[in-house]
Structure 1
Amino acid sequence: MANRITACGCSVPKGTKCAHEQTRTTARQKANDAARGTAAERGYDKDWWRLRHAFLQVHPTCCVPGCEAKATHVDHIKSIRDAPRLRLVESNLRSMCLPCHSRRTARDQSQNWGRKR
């Protein structure tokens, strides 16, 4: 595999990071994690986990049309941030498989990128 030259001038195999990039990424991730808050602070507490488990029992397959994979995630149709009162309301939930949930999350977060929170 060919090497690539990083912004700091290091030569590393493609698909890897040099020590400088790893340090920057780690510092950036720590800052993001600190600003994000814990799962419980974001609304994912014991009540949420109980509801999530029960919801997946009743809705075991992904809700995305054409996808019949086993659901492993429960998605809020209206986010907790936008509608905290709907956090534990079943009509605001849908079951999804990991790939479909990841696509949805990436799409939603790209639309909200730069939005003041």
Structure 2
Amino acid sequence: MIPAGQRCPTSTARKAEADKRRPSARERGYGTKWDSERAAYLKAHPTCMRCPSPATVVDHIVPHRGDTKLFWDRSNWQPLCRTCHDRWKQSQEKRA
């Protein structure tokens, strides 16, 4: 049994291995152009879609998985706060 507040060592090791194989954010398309577009989008959409917190993440509603057309499709973007992105959105993607 794992004490509350601690992570499973097997799960942590598995995530570390997956992260080693994953391309960097820049390699996945999140470069200077993304930084500029993201800032403009958050300025136009300052509130999280799921709660009243300030939005800090531009999330792809449908994961783009390297599809550049889907990556840049603004109708596929939504503003989220970090908490909603990290908890809700990540749990949605794990289920899919």
Bin the TM-score by the shorter chain. Answer: 0.7 to 0.9
Instruction: With a CA cutoff of 8 Å and minimum separation of 6, indicate the structure with the bigger relative contact order.
Output: 2
> 72, 79, 93: which is aligned to 1:108?
93
Q: Match of 1:115?
A: none
- The structure whose residues are more often helix, as a share, is 2
Letter in 2 for 1:71: A
Provide TM-score, normalisation by structure 1: 0.65
Cα RMSD (Å): 2.4
Question: Deviation above 4 Å: which 4+ runs of structure 1?
Answer: 13-17, 24-27
Instruction: Return 5+ residue gaps in structure 2 as ranges.
Output: none
Q: Match of 2:29?
A: 43
Larger Rg: 1
The Cα of 1:83 is off from its aligned counterpart by: 3.9
User: Whole-Å Cα distance in 1 between the matches of residues 49 and 6 of structure 2?
Assistant: 36
- Counterparts in 2 of 1:52 and 1:14: CA distance versus 1, 3 Å: closer
Letter in 2 for 1:57: K
Amino-acid identity (%): 36
